Amino acid sequence: MSSNDIGSAAMPPHAVQDLLLGRLADAFQYLGVQARPDGFALNVFVPDADRVLCLLTGADPIELTKAPDAQGLFYTAMAKKQPYKLRAYFGENIWEFDDPYQFDSSLSADDLHYIGEGSMQRIWQVLGATPMSMNGVQGVRFAVWAPNARRVAVVGDFNAWDRRRHGMRRLGASGVWEIFIPAIAAGDVYKYCVQSADGHDLPLKADPIGYGSEHPPKTGSIVRDIDGFEWHDTAWMQSRGELQNINAPISIYEVNLASWKRASGNRPLSYLELATELVDYAADMGFTHIELMPITEHPFDGSWGYQPIGMFAPTIRHGTPDEFRALVTAAHKKGLGVLLDWVPAHFPTDEHGLGQFDGTALYEHADPREGFHQDWNTLIYNFGRKEVANYMRSNALYWLEEYHLDGLRVDAVASMLYRDYSRNDGEWVPNKDGGRENYEAIDFLKGVNTLAYGEVAGIMTVAEESTAFPAVSTPVDHGGLGFGFKWNMGWMNDTLRYMEEDPINRKYHHHLLTHSISYAYTENFILPISHDEVVHGKGSMLTKMPGNDWEQFANLRAYYGFMWTHPGKKLLFMGQEFAQRSEWNHDQSLDWHLLDAPAHAGIQTLVRDLNHLYRKTPALHVNDTRASGFRWIEGADVENSVYVYLRQGAGDDPRVVIVLNMTPVTRTDHRVGLPAGGFWREVLNTDAEIYGGGGRGNLGGCHAEQVDWMGQSNSARLTLPPLSAVILIEGEDTK
């Protein structure tokens, strides 16, 4: 049979028309080698080509016939189905390539079943753009879930963004579309051209499981090969479980990578620069962890990462995925854990994102009372759809496994738990029982924690949850949400309200420093002084403090002394460790020049010393979640605004007594009850000159006398500097 025998029957006229208009729903039904009653036919679509040859191993090239009135369509007869290459001529230019329509699907029936079932734990290994080899040919497999689409194609520089080309195959009822495109490689930019069920071309979509993205404001996905990175953190990965449990000292440095420090020209540092500068700094400061504000790809700098679209892509603003891995492994080698601020509560409405992905409300709720967040003008994931819940559960696992992250801080949990969150009557839809709890989101969060703790050893998850929802940090099999820790927003709000009061009025608000102990053991708490407290007109930590300049610094020193000795793990936002004066600005560096001033350098030294004291003193951390770890010695000295409390660890761990003087009055010979006799070393005094204080103190410690005081059988007379925290440890040996 000659090629001319096929004539215009190479493809039915309606299929040719759809192909030329970019409407051909299943290109694999017509392109490539197709069986015919009298043999096989090869149909190829190469727009703008003058000639196309089919190259077969051990045979002469076959010239394809150019279809009349169908520019770019070529066809020929084939004796059998066999591998081939194509050679296309464009004037004097020649392009030789493998036809994507000769490759079968590489996704298994099990893959598709698990995707449809919502149980594909590692969905990134199946969907997305995966560099691979098929039949000895290198290329990229593209796979995307778009169950309601009429047609999906891959477009990019490799096909001149021609939506008619590289139409994908629909894989049964799974909703997955797939194609293997030879010769594409890491670094190539692509998007999906999705056509809705009614034939409408949607705005080009970024890959929901894209490993990389273009630099904003561009929005294309980038093919990345995320296999093959050489990790050098085995020792850390094997030991981190002991460093992240409820008995461990955990002190977290919260960082926005774009504004921690900038190079000349106001350029944000790269991942590789941060791997040295940030990691060395955080380690020197004694922090145990770095918490990264969201680095999942996001189009708008001003969202601080909290409106992400590329949930599987580390932002390109600082470098490549492997360069981000280099930052993580550098932290691990320095003994620092890395936590990621993770945003499963909502996503932005940008047209290249997940919204209306296949022409329907696929990832979001269709009803705006459930699917639109009025505070943030964002869309809300529909966790009642099993594929969506699986997508985000898998995303959590992806960051923990592929990037060796040590934990996730889950953002805006309260907004997920309640259907009426920030909504008035009539603006929300009750659950099936008529209540406000969001059962689907609750099940999703339980699923995330079950998966994370079940699959990845030694990790931690943290909830930013601002309500009294019960059992947030209780294991799922004990009826809880399953988080490892929860932010103590009540402690933060109460104590900052207290500190903002003029000291003369603090006696009227004495309870604000004591109330948190009444619920301190209901959850595994982290005490958070986060970015949220130093933006939107709230001032910096320093400027929250009342009084003149000296008093503001003294207040801040005392507050940090209180924070580091109060039950609960610690979190401090960048810049507050050296008393940044201005609010945080995401468009510029922290004001590092302030460290030239002794008062600011003093605060930095204090935070460093508090971290080291906290880490080496079991009494300050091993019983954070147990009532046995804390006892008031004097919590009711309202008139003097003096607080005295005991921290104790396990067994023979030296006990620690903390004395707070929250007025600007020096109190000499102030008798304080102590739980034992002997010498009590003054291990830290926030008024020390090295911290910028006045140097008033107790000459290194005190000897307890057998004088009953404050309900204790022993006591000592102390000098309490103004606006200070004095920390005493039992006995002379503090190691």
pLDDT at 624 over 90: yes
Q: Evaluate if residue 733 carries a pLDDT over 80.
A: no
pLDDT band at 6, cuts 50/70/90? very low
* pLDDT at position 271: 99
Nearest-angstrom CA–CA distance, 369 and 251: 39
What is the pLDDT, as a whole number, of residue 38? 85
60 and 170 both lie in a single domain: no
pLDDT band at residue 528 under the 50/70/90 scheme: very high
- Are residues 291 and 182 both part of a single domain? no
Instruction: Answer whether residue 503 is part of any domain.
Output: no
197 and 131 fall within a common domain: yes
Provide mean pLDDT across the span 65-86: 92
Q: Whole-structure pTM over 0.85, yes or no?
A: yes
Residue positions annotated with a catalytic role: 411, 464
Nearest residue to 639 via CA among 606, 673, 662: 662
H or E element, residue 454 = helix 439-455
Terminal-residue alpha carbon distance, the chain: 91
Quickly list DSSP for 522-553.
SS-EEEEE-GGGGSTT---HHHHS-SSHHHHH
End residue of a domain, out of 444, 463, 487: 487
DSSP secondary structure, 135-192, as one string: TTEEEEEEEEE-TT-SEEEEEEGGGTT-TTSSBPEE-TTS-EEEEEEET--TT-EEEE
Residue carrying structure tokens 């892509």? 313
Task: Please state the length of the chain.
Answer: 735
Q: Is the pLDDT of residue 8 over 50?
A: no
Q: Domain holding 439: CATH number? A: 3.20.20.80
- The answer to whether residue 546 sits within a structural domain is no
Enumerate residues 6+ apart whose C-beta is below 8 A from 358. 146, 147, 148, 149, 194, 196, 197, 202
- Check if the beta carbon of residue 478 is closer than 8 Å to that of residue 446: no
Look up the CATH number of the domain holding residue 147. Answer: 2.60.40.10
Does 681 share its domain with 717? yes
For the stretch 431-483, pLDDT in tens is: 999 999 999 999 999 999 999 999 999 999 999 999 999 999 999 999 999 99
* Predicted confidence (pLDDT) at residue 713 exceeds the cutoff of 90: yes
Alpha carbons 146 and 207: distance in angstroms, whole number: 11
% of the chain exceeding 90 in pLDDT: 96
Average pLDDT in the chain: 96
| Shared-domain flag, residues 211 and 313 | no
Residue 603 domain-assigned (yes or no): no
The answer, yes or no, to whether residue 275 has pLDDT greater than 70, is yes
Please give the residue range of the domain that contains residue 208: 109-222
C-alpha gyration radius of the chain? 31
| 134-156 mean pLDDT | 98
Question: Do residue 18 and residue 41 come from a single domain?
Answer: yes
Asked if residue 734 has pLDDT above 80, the reply is no
* Residue finishing a domain among 45, 70, 102: 102
CA 393, CA 387: separation in Å to the nearest integer?
10
- Domain containing residue 705: CATH number: 2.60.40.1180
What residue has token string 């002997």? 678
Task: Tell me what pLDDT residue 11 has.
Answer: 85
Q: Indicate the pLDDT class of residue 735, thresholds 50, 70 and 90.
A: very low
Examine the domain organization and report whether 321 and 366 are in the same domain: yes
Residue pair 346/242 in contact (Cβ under 8 Å)? The answer is: no
Instruction: Report how far residue 563's alpha carbon sits from residue 582's, in angstroms, rounded to the nearest whole number.
Output: 22
Q: Does residue 392 surpass a pLDDT of 70?
A: yes
Q: How far apart (Å, rounded) are the C-alpha atoms in residues 258 and 268?
A: 5
Q: Are residues 188 and 300 in the same domain?
A: no
Tell whether the model's pLDDT for residue 517 goes beyond 80: yes
pLDDT (0 to 100) of residue 2: 40
Identify whether 587 is part of a domain.
no
Where would I find the beta strands (DSSP E) of 434-517? 460-463, 485-487
Q: Which stretches of 174-288 are DSSP H helices?
A: 234-243, 271-284
Q: Which of 324, 313, 312, 386 is nearest to 115 (CA)?
A: 386
Domain boundary among 168, 189, 222: 222
The Cα–Cα gap between 685 and 727 comes to: 6
Q: Assess whether 328 and 444 both reside in one domain.
A: yes
Are both 196 and 263 inside the same structural domain? no
Report CA-CA distances (Å) from 695 to 265, 314, 594, 700.
Answer: 41, 47, 22, 12
Average pLDDT over residues 208-229: 97
Same domain for 361 and 256, yes or no, is: yes
Q: Does 528 reside within a domain?
A: no
- Give domain status of residue 693, yes or no: yes
Split at pLDDT 50, 70, 90, the class of 732 is low
Asked if residue 123 lies in contact with residue 156, where contact means CB atoms within 8 angstroms, the answer is no
Count structural domains, the chain.
4
Burial class (CB in 10 A: 0-12, 13-18, 19+), 80: exposed
Within a domain: residue 172? yes
Same domain, 135 and 205: yes
Domain-embedded: residue 385? yes
